[in-house]
Structure 1
């Protein structure tokens, strides 16, 4: 028997080898598809894909798109105020509609407002007897309407020689912040004073002296007092009103003053009464209250009791608070330490007014020009510039408004010119009624200029 079974056919062995080589090659090529990209000499080799001709085409990816840049809103140019030549600008540091002078300006333009626009002017002897304020009030009321002098204390004192109204009183006991005894700051009203009646009857008669047209008559006489055990209030010829017992400030309003006079009587038979004053005003227009006090630097404005101020805010809203002080602090305002300490009191006062009168406008008025004698003659006191700078910084930090009284008077050295014209006293610190009239005209033009800027700004959409 032959041994053929042990010897394979050579043709069959050759075919098998070919198939094995092809299969191995195919497998290697398939594995090569999964190799990472290979680069030689900076050139990337093409990926091996033996199935590319028979594999279904992969769905094409949408082409990447670059998003359009966001549309830029047109940039508005910063608002630029315009002030007429010769008009002293009111620098407004308020940043929105609730700060600076915006609230006050908006109400001056509000034809639907059903109450007066009220200004509370806090100052020192610069405005004693309605100096400057009588004329400023007259100009504002001529432009925007309004009647009466506004606030009048229950007894004459600081304003006992007003150009506008005079008073006669009986039965009251006066307590003011400048009094050294029998004064309690926890009891004072917005004018930094209060008046007491232990029992019986007290009266205050007020009558115009005809110096200013719009202040010589008024539509309403309103009395403000506290009567813990109740009280009877009457105005001659206008009736009477019974106030119930209450620890809070109350008001009694009468249609009296059209003839330029009003006689108020307050009576109590049980307990005491603490009165603050009365308001002589019209139903609309502008009311300017003179809340000045002779001899004070202004520290005590911040001490007006919160409960009393809250009651007055409820009964008699205020729209612009003006703070003009410094005349009685010039001699001591020589160091930065004192000036910073001084400004801290006004920061407290501003915070208090804003707390009780939301949105109220605040205007800081820089100290007036004041002169002293030196070896070279009369010179403006160097403290004027220093204090004015601190007052302007105060306005900026508190987002209030600022105007320079020295600038309203005509700048440095203006007091000497006022004295030469007979517009100021020879102490070179206090103006008189003629000087006050000149300053009032300038002040009025500044308010008008500020209002015009406000109107144009709103029209332009700012």
Structure 2
């Protein structure tokens, strides 16, 4: 009996201490916490909400449409877009009937904040150069979700191929028909989670920096460190695998280094360089029909690699840059010099910022601090990418247990208001993802759909759900672009 009382008192003290500690946290610290899967929590038993929350007839029709579109996107050849002496008529994509089109939100009394991006599409820049979109987001876009569908759609209309920027040591090893495999010995320092961030590290655009630390026998150049990355593409997979160039972004602060491209065990291209305090853009053109190759890095001292890009020199490129655990308030932790140097090489035309799912579970009384944090980050990105338009993609619907069942988090509208305020005050566009999903409790319908559009954590999209979101975002973007073209004539 005494033992039970003692254990009970001990548990009570632990609970009181934990409560006091949580109350001591600053609200912004909650923004980078990871979301556990609800089914992993002790005693969890899934119970779907017994309500009339179901997919609308419109949504069901869209899903059947997606199946046919996806197969066509994989089968169609990449269009060859030729530059002409005189501008060809602008491409104005036809938006499929029945796609829910939630309009982009911005101050309609002013010119569209996406004008620079739309002008590049309208004037045919994609025929002569790249039109690049950087898609930053939280775990909702991890694994090329949403991005891949948006990329396929835009490349179909405006040309281009490849998956764009990826880390040398990605968390996922397959993207759009491209498989990546890095050798042992790579050290990866990531921006996220914030608790493991290294002070003074020069993080780049993809959110990490990779260094090969594997030692080897000294060669004639004095190189002692070596690392490699193998890349394989399935040409049947669609546009993502149809890249013609490989670019490497790296910094070598001291000593010589070398990057060699191999077909099997045969070297087919090589670039050598000396030390430099600046990020370098090392480019390889791929031979026709080359489906598999290996990049081998050797150096006298460890080289910092900020990512590679698998791309075509023209057309649309859409980069998937997931920052798992971020709320969109971590860009200022990236090294500004490194970002500016990479921006000068990449020359992006549009930034997509998709965040929010890490903010919602940390319930607080007000979200003014979140709006202020986003405003700070967006203004920082504006200094790094001057004149580049941005779209803030709002938080998706999310579910929590309410008694025996699941319903939408009650604080999502507050988070949305903070995001809209940040977009409005910085003059960028906003897209309401939750509204596009169907609004309150739509996450329940997405989980219950057959096949499911969202996973049993009531947060993340399944691949099918991610494609649906990608299609709706594409439709909204192209609807706004069409209005721009019509107003320009």
Q: Same fold (TM over 0.5)?
A: yes
SS of the aligned residue for 1:295 comes to coil
* 2:314 aligned with 1:284: yes
Q: What pairs up with 1:234-253 in 2 under 5 angstroms?
A: 234-237=260-263, 238-253=268-283
For residue 391 of structure 2, the aligned residue among 357, 360, 363 is 363
Q: What pairs up with 1:28-107 in 2 under 5 angstroms?
A: 86-93=100-107, 100-107=113-120
Show structure 1 runs of 5+ residues with no match.
Answer: 1-82
- 1:145 corresponds in structure 2 to 159
For residue 170 of structure 2, the aligned residue among 141, 144, 156 is 156
Distance 1:129 1:257 in 2: 28
Number of equivalences: 373
Bigger radius of gyration among the two: 1
* 2:157 aligned with 1:129: no
**Alpha-carbon deviation of 1:173?**
0.8
Distance 1:227 1:316 in 2: 19
TM-superposition CA deviations, 1:116-166 (whole Å, max 9, x none)? 111111111111111221111111111111100001101121x33544322
Distance 1:226 1:322 in 2: 26
- 2:483 corresponds in structure 1 to 453
**Alpha-carbon deviation of 1:210?**
5.7
- 1:177 corresponds in structure 2 to 191
Pick closer, same or farther for the CA change 1:365–1:205 going to 2, 3 Å: same
TM-superposition CA deviations, 1:80-134 (whole Å, max 9, x none)? xxx998311011338766x721111111222245321111111111111112211
Distance 1:323 1:416 in 2: 25
Distance 2:260 2:369 in 1: 45
Kept in 1: contact 2:258–2:270 (CA 8 A): yes
Distance 2:373 2:167 in 1: 25
- 2:407 corresponds in structure 1 to 379
Higher relative contact order (CA 8 A, sep 6+): 2
- 2:216 corresponds in structure 1 to none
State the TM-score, normalizing by the size of structure 2. Answer: 0.72
- 1:44 corresponds in structure 2 to none
Distance 1:144 1:249 in 2: 30
- 1:70 corresponds in structure 2 to none
Distance 2:286 2:436 in 1: 37
TM-superposition CA deviations, 1:325-346 (whole Å, max 9, x none)? 110111124322xx22222232
SS of the aligned residue for 2:348 comes to coil
- 1:426 corresponds in structure 2 to 456
Distance 2:332 2:108 in 1: 21
TM-superposition CA deviations, 1:329-371 (whole Å, max 9, x none)? 11124322xx222222322222222212221011001100101
**Alpha-carbon deviation of 1:379?**
1.5
- 1:308 corresponds in structure 2 to 338
- Aligned-CA RMSD value: 2.3
**Alpha-carbon deviation of 1:178?**
2.5
Distance 1:409 1:381 in 2: 15
Displacement over 4 Å in runs of 4+: 94-97, 179-182, 209-212
Q: What pairs up with 1:208-223 in 2 under 5 angstroms?
A: 208-209=233-234, 212-223=237-248
Q: What pairs up with 1:328-343 in 2 under 5 angstroms?
A: 328-336=358-366, 339-343=367-371
SS of the aligned residue for 1:407 comes to helix
Kept in 1: contact 2:174–2:180 (CA 8 A): no
* 2:217 aligned with 1:191: no
